Amino acid sequence: MRNLFAVLWVLLGALASAPAPARAQAGFDRPGGDYLSFVVRSGDPAACAARCERETHCRAWSFSYPGAGGGSPICWLKSEVTPRVENWCCVSGVRGAGVSEPRSNGAEFGIDRIGGDLRDVDLAADPTGAACKSACEAEGRCRAWTYARPGYEGTSARCYLKSRVTLPRRRPCCISGVVR
């Protein structure tokens, strides 16, 4: 009986000290260690993470969104886990990590709110969507907003101001939020 308690105590200690599951890191790149790169037709960082899971040589990955000057979303598979570097161009992770978009300051990353448009405007590229949120807050009739990253709906970024709150839909192109 004493041995059983000792074993249980050791197992509980091991579980308590186990690291939390790794998650992908939006807003970070992992330069170097590349062995393969390819265009991600869906534009979704999750496709990059999934490809890394299927590749035996893959240890880490970086996904870069299309740039303001155009281009395509690119996945970079890595044969080593390189240090992460803050850069809003990208989402990166290590093998075994899922993709989770950040939720900050009311912004819904990877979410589009389709419909209810008051108007839309071109914006300078803004990886946080803050300029679009500010435009909505300044518009008295605006209830929600969607920022479309450059390269998804044209070469420039686009801000959609909404007269009503619509259902959120998962789309890697966008950052949305509700203000009223």
107 and 138 co-located in one domain: yes
Q: pTM higher than 0.75 for the full model?
A: no
**Are 88 and 110 part of one and the same domain?**
no
Q: Identify whether residues 88 and 139 lie together within a single domain.
A: no
| pLDDT the model gives residue 123 | 87
pLDDT tens digits along 84-114: 999 888 889 999 876 666 656 678 888 999 9
Q: Give domain status of residue 7, yes or no.
A: no
Number of domains in the chain: 2
Give the contacts of 112 (CB within 8 A, at least 6 positions apart): 146, 148, 168, 169, 170, 171, 173, 174, 176
**Residue 85 resides in a domain:** yes
Secondary structure class of 138 (helix, strand, coil):
helix
User: Model confidence over 10-47: pLDDT tens digits?
Assistant: 333 433 333 334 456 778 899 999 999 999 999 999 89
Q: Range of 72's domain?
A: 20-94
- Answer for the pair 24, 91: CB distance below 8 angstroms, yes or no: yes
Domain end among 94, 126, 149:
94
Distance CA 176, CA 180 (A): 13
Residue 9 is predicted with a pLDDT of 40
